[in-house]
Amino acid sequence: MERTPYTPPAFEPGHVWLCGAGPGDPGLLTLHALHALQSADVVVYDALVSDAVLGLAGPQATFEYAGKRGGRPSPKQADISLRLVQRAREGKRVLRLKGGDPFVFGRGGEEALSLVAAGVPFRIVPGVTAGIGGLAYAGIPVTHRDTNQAVTFVTGHDASGDVTGVDWAALAGGAPVLVIYMAMKHLATIAERLVAGGRHGDTPVAIVSNAALPDQRVLETTLARAPADAEGAGMAPPCVVVVGEVARLRAGLDWLGALTDGKVLVADPLGLGRERRTG
C-alpha cells in the first residue's frame, strides 16, 4: 500500500467553511475540521462545540460565540448569517463551527444559502452527528442486524420550540428505532404520542447527556417511564434519546464503561441464545 500524506484543501481568505465538530470528544473531529481550526482567522461557534475542540485552534484565531441555548443571549439566525458574510467580505478565513454535523438539524443549509445570496464562496465539512457518534459512546449502535434495518432521526422541537411540526404517530409506525435530538423539552408529549401511535410503553429507551464528553451520563429506561425517570435523574440538555431495541445492546457494547470502569460486558445482550446468526 502506497503511503500518501493528507493534503488539505487551501482555506482561502474570504471563504467560509461550514464545519461539523462532532459530538464532543476532540478525537471525533475530522482532519478537514482540524485543518480549518488551525487556519481560520475567525471561528464562529455554537454552544454545542466543546472547549476541547476550540482549544485546537491556531494562535491567530479569534472566537465569536453564536450559540442558541437557553440562559445565554441567542443571536437570530439572520444575524449569524450576516456576520458570516461580513467577516468573509473583510477577507477573513471564516470557520463556522457547529456541534455534530451541520446538515443534521444544524441549519447549515440555511446559512449556506445566505452565503450563496451574498456571493460568498463556501465549503461544507460534514461531522460525526451526536445521534450516531454520541450513542456509540454510550455503547448503542443505531442499526444492528438482529433488531432493525432502518432508523429515523428526528428533532424534538423546531427553532420556535414547538413540538407539533412532526407527525409522531407516523414515525411511530415507521422505522423500528428513533433517535430524537432536542427531545427533553417535550419528552412527555413525545413519549405519549409515540405510545398513541402504537409503540409499546415497555420499548427500551436510553437518554445520553453530554455525549462523548468527560461528563457523559446515560439513563436506561422505557418509553413509558422515560419522562419521570429523566426528571428524577436530573437529565438536562444537551441529550440524545434513542427509542428501540438497540438500547438493550448497551449491556454488551458499552466499550467506554469497560475501558474506564472495568464494566463487565455480556456477549448476548439481546438474549438470542447460542444460535446467533453469524453468516
Contacts with a copy of itself, 178-197, as mask; x by CB under 8 A = --------------------
Length of the chain: 279
CB 147 within 8 A of CB 252: no
Nearer to a copy of itself, 71 or 262 (CB): 262
- Cα–Cα distance measured from residue 119 to residue 239, given in angstroms and rounded to the nearest whole number: 36
Binders of a copy of itself among residues 111 to 130 (CB under 8 A) are 112-114, 116-117, 121-129
79 a catalytic residue: no
Whether 182 is catalytic:
yes
Q: Cβ of residue 18: shortest distance to a copy of itself, in angstroms?
A: 8
* Residue of the chain from 14, 67, 68, 159 that contacts a copy of itself (CB under 8 A): 159
Which of these, 213, 210, 191, lies nearest to 202 by C-alpha position? Answer: 191
Q: How many residues bind a copy of itself (CB under 8 A)?
A: 97
CB 51 → a copy of itself: shortest distance, Å? 8
The angle formed by the CA atoms of residues 164, 136 and 236, to the nearest 5 degrees, is 50
Backbone angles phi, psi at 22, to 5 degrees: 80, 180
Burial (0-12, 13-18, 19+ Cβ within 10 Å), 124: middle
Any catalytic annotation for residue 1? no
Q: Which stretch binds a copy of itself (CB under 8 A): 83-91, 99-107, 201-209, 228-236?
A: 99-107
Identify the residue among 22, 99, 227, 238 touching a copy of itself (CB under 8 A). Answer: 22
